[in-house]
Amino acid sequence: MKPFVPMAVVLTLASSVAADAQTRPARPAPRPRPVVAERVFLSVNGVFQAGSNDFRDTSTFRENVEDGSLSTDYSVGPGPAFDVSGGVVVWQRLAVGAGITRFSHSTPTAVSAAVPHPFFFNQPRTVTGEFSGSRTELAVHLQVRGVFPLSNRIQVAVFGGPSFFRVEQAIVDDFDFTEAYPFDTATFSRAMSRTQSESAVGLHVGGDVAYFFRPEVGVGVGVQYSGATVQMTLPSGSSDVKAGGAQVGGGLRLRF
Amino acid sequence: MKRAMAMAATGGALLVSLEVGSAQQASTLRFSATTANELRLWDGYVTSRARAGDLRVRQVVRDPSLPSRTIERLQQYSQGVPVWGAEVVRDLERGVPLSMFGELSAQPDVDPRPGLDADAVERLLLSREATGAVLLRLAELVILRLETGQHRLAYTGVVSAAHRVFRVFVDASSGAELLRYSSIHTQAAIGTGRGTIGDTKKMATVLQGGVYLADDQLRPPVLTTFDMRGNLPRAVQIVEQGAPLFLSDIAADTDNDWTDSAVVDAHAYIGWTYDYYFKRHGRRGLDNLDRPLVALVNGVTQQAAVTLPPELLDWALNAFWCDDCGPGGLGLMYFGSGIPSNYTFFGQNVNYLAGSLDIVAHELTHGVTSSSSNLIYMNESGALNEAFSDIMGTGAEYFFQPVGTGLGQADYLLGEDSFRTPGGGLNGIRSMVDPGAFGDPDHYSKRFIGTFDNGFVHSNSGIVNHAYYLAIEGGTNRTSGLAVQGVGSANREQIEKVFYRAFVFMLPASATFATARAATIQAARDLYPANGAVATAITQAWTAVGVN
């Protein structure tokens, strides 16, 4: 056997390395990465839905052997909403869950009509009035959530998924007016409405930052966009009406 | 003040509502009983009230669709006087009630002794209606529940007057009217119609018995157009001898899309004229009290007109207002139908006279004059009478129609939509711009004097008409050469109001042209600045036509 390096040298080097290892100061142990220890989480939020989902409808009607028109401007403005969501971590930082958002708001509706004159063609009377209706949106969200603990106390989450909207809207179908001879003017007396409920599938995406002042209890703030387009049957026919919007809010965070 | 109370009984199935008037403690008791418990309760109640004489069987009938059933209607009485509308309906099968519905007045606290007797009330009812009113139902004593919840002892009767039928209630002591409602079950409707010049108009009509009638239910006065259907003898009888008009005489249409242009134009244009007076002058119809507006059309067909003897030609070729004509001296307007288009009369085709708004407004204005200044229909006052009708007729045209010289447009010609000159000549029968174009005088010095046409009332009106025109549009009188600074067409309303005020409120019945000059100048000063443009225009206009 003709070794290239003498065996004694190898052994010497080996013992030297071992001795060196024993004498140098130890490296600091790597800090343990925060882990998602709790598997179930729950959020309860008061939120504010920003933006508006105003819509307008113009229809025609027959009165005094002539076509009249009815225009309704629905003002669906921003307002408070209530949001609850929860889920379970299914793998490392990935969770699945569900949420529900309820938004209810009055929808002041401007009613404007051109009512044909009983005696003359092309001399409509303008009738204007107000109707106070309401809009209720109930959205059920199925979500996939990424949970990223920044520390044991602070946790960031992003989420998204499909949303199932149920929208109830007061729709003005008709109106009453008063008139008297010579019928050159007419006065709005009341709007006749119905409540229409329609469903649609939309989506939602959002993010959340939570601070846990106890291991299982914390507070958080979040932002979410959830939206859908529902088809409403308006006096003029079927029409797309938007629901949802950007929501910001905060509330209680629980994890178990 | 009313208060409402709901009381549940028999397991909540039975609701009794009481509306109690706090002042009189009067109340209404409503019930409906359809279940065994309800029926037992209310049948006992009704039976006890019937035994006491408070409920009396008014009617017993059988329902043909349920032959075993008998329907009883029990009328409520209080101290021997029926309570209007208060009754119980009991549906029985072999004497056993199956359903009951009631609306009763509880304890009407009314003295049953009337202060007036029935004869006096009947006279009272008739005296308050138009001439010719009749009582279709004699006065009967009832207890009437007012909307306030109070009860009053009242007489009620059904009165027919001016083509309307009303049930009227009057206080049994004071005779004051408490309530009235139409006994004719009608529904106001709006239809369309094609006029003489082919235009489409709206028609205010009424649906009655499945047929639309030319009876305007929307304007305040009675406004009815009667269709004589070419029956001239009957038209003559109605107009000249006061023969009665019947419901069947009212112009009718099955689908409310009217095609008889004479009916369409007469009915619509009378309504427009009423509107013109109301909107422009604040006047409510002929007498400012919404006197009925009755029009007759189609007295003779166009085809039949060509065979009429001369003395009857007016029934085809003219329109007129007669203040004392018609049944009961009602007063009415008549519009001739003209002649076939292949015939001419003095070189003109003559279409339905109701087809000209100015003719309709002209005739209606005669009714206004009759109810106001009542200008004597001869000589100068007669010419003023005619001129005022032309002026208001023209005013109505400009109020509703676009300015122009075509059909259905506003101008200073009279009757131009009905009297057409073949080959593009001058249409109409009179001109305010140039009365001489039709042989009428445009200056006082050219006035006709004589007995023809009541002293040439239809010709000498040209002098006044021309003054009216000059006061608005300005210009120079062809005879005098004097110029007038008019107020301008944009201010025509001012001149219309001046003439309206002067002719309706200021002129005596025998006014002369000079009186009319003074009255219109004064009216201009009353309505507008004393020495302003309006008074100046009026003054200059009269001077230009030689009336000083």
CB contact, 8 Å: B402 with chain A? no
pLDDT tens, residue by residue, A94-141: 999 999 999 999 999 999 999 999 999 999 999 999 999 999 999 999
> What size, in residues, is chain A?
256
pTM (two decimals): 0.73
For residue A91, what is the domain's CATH number? Answer: 2.40.160.20
HSE (CB half, 13 Å, CA atoms) of B332? 29
CATH of domain B2-106: 3.10.450
CB contact, 8 Å: B408 with chain A? no
pLDDT values of chain A reduced to their tens digit, one per residue, 256 residues: 344 444 443 334 334 434 444 455 566 666 666 666 678 999 999 999 998 999 999 999 999 999 999 999 999 999 999 999 999 999 989 999 999 999 999 999 999 999 999 999 999 999 999 999 999 999 999 999 999 999 889 999 999 999 999 999 999 999 988 899 999 999 998 898 999 999 999 999 999 999 999 989 999 999 999 999 999 999 999 999 999 999 999 999 999 8
Q: Mean per-residue pLDDT for B332-345?
A: 95
For Cα atoms A176, A178, A182, give the angle at the middle one, nearest 5 degrees.
140
CB contact, 8 Å: B10 with chain A? no
Q: Are B218 and A65 a contacting pair at CB < 8 A?
A: no
pLDDT at B48 over 70: yes
pLDDT tens, residue by residue, B427-483: 999 999 999 999 999 999 999 999 999 999 999 999 999 999 999 999 999 999 999
> Chain B partners of A120 at a C-beta cutoff of 8 Å?
202
The backbone region for B530, taken as left when phi is positive above 0, alpha when psi lies in -120 to 50, beta otherwise, is: alpha
Has residue A34 been placed in a domain? no
Has residue A7 been placed in a domain? no
In chain B, the percentage of residues whose pLDDT exceeds 90 is 67
Q: Can you give the pLDDT at residue B284?
A: 94
Nearest to B202 among A65, A181, A184 (CB): A65
Which domain covers residue A240, as residue numbers? Answer: 39-255
Phi, psi of B163 (to 5 degrees): 65, 15
Please state the domain extents for chain B.
2-106, 118-182, 187-371, 373-548
Phi, psi of B300 (to 5 degrees): -145, 140
d(CA B105, CA B79): 13
Could you write out the DSSP letters of every residue in B26-79? -EEEEEEE-SHHHHHHHHHHHHHHHHTTSEEEEEEEEETTEEEEEEEEEEEEET
> Chain B partners of A66 at a C-beta cutoff of 8 Å?
202
> Chain A partners of B190 at a C-beta cutoff of 8 Å?
64-65, 118
CB proximity under 8 Å: B 276-335 to A? 278-279
CATH value of B373-548 in 3.40.50.300, 3.40.50.1240, 1.10.3720.10, 1.10.390.10: 1.10.390.10
Select which of B163, B366, B458, B466 is catalytic: B458
pLDDT tens, residue by residue, B151-177: 999 999 888 776 566 789 999 999 999
Q: Mean per-residue pLDDT for B105-129?
A: 88
Question: Does residue A141 contact residue A226 with C-beta atoms inside 8 Å?
Answer: yes
**Mean pLDDT for all residues in chain B:** 89
CB contact, 8 Å: B218 with chain A? yes
Select which of B363, B380, B397, B416 is catalytic: B363
d(CA A88, CA A41): 6
Instruction: Give the bridge partners for A236, in sequence order.
Output: none
| B167 vs B542 pLDDT, higher one | B542
pLDDT band of residue B408 (cuts 50, 70, 90) is: very high
Q: Can you give the pLDDT at residue B129?
A: 79
Interface of A with B (CB under 8 A): 64-66, 117-121, 181-184
Q: Can you give the pLDDT at residue A40?
A: 93
Question: Does residue B327 contact residue B258 with C-beta atoms inside 8 Å?
Answer: no
- Closest Cα partner for B192 from B146, B250, B256, B270? B256
Has residue A30 been placed in a domain? no
Instruction: For residue B285, give every residue at least 6 positions away whose Cβ sits within 8 Å of its Cβ, in sequence order, or none.
Output: B220, B221, B274, B277, B278, B291, B293
Query: What is the ipTM score, two decimals?
Result: 0.74
Question: Does residue A56 contact residue A74 with C-beta atoms inside 8 Å?
Answer: yes
Question: Does residue B144 contact residue B180 with C-beta atoms inside 8 Å?
Answer: no
Q: Are B275 and A119 a contacting pair at CB < 8 A?
A: yes
Domain count, chain A: 1
CB contact, 8 Å: B59 with chain A? no
Q: Mean per-residue pLDDT for B341-367?
A: 96
pLDDT tens, residue by residue, B3-44: 222 222 332 233 333 333 333 334 678 888 888 898 999 999
pLDDT at B2 over 50: no
d(CA B5, CA A85): 48
> Chain A partners of B279 at a C-beta cutoff of 8 Å?
182, 184
> Chain B partners of A184 at a C-beta cutoff of 8 Å?
279
pLDDT tens, residue by residue, B194-232: 999 999 999 999 998 889 999 999 999 989 999 999 999
Instruction: For residue B248, give every residue at least 6 positions away whose Cβ sits within 8 Å of its Cβ, in sequence order, or none.
Output: none
Query: In this structure, what token pair is assigned to residue B184?
Result: 């004719």
- Is B466 marked active-site? no
CATH of domain B187-371: 3.10.170.10
The shares of helix, strand and coil residues in chain B, as percent rounded to the nearest 5, are 35, 30, 35
CB proximity under 8 Å: B 182-201 to A? 190-192, 200-201
Q: What is the nearest CA distance from A178 to chain B, expressed in angstroms? A: 13
Question: Does residue B516 contact residue B464 with C-beta atoms inside 8 Å?
Answer: yes
Q: What is the nearest CA distance from B256 to chain A, expressed in angstroms? A: 10
- B355-368 b/e (C-beta count within 10 Å ≥ 16 → b): bbbbbbbbbbbbbb
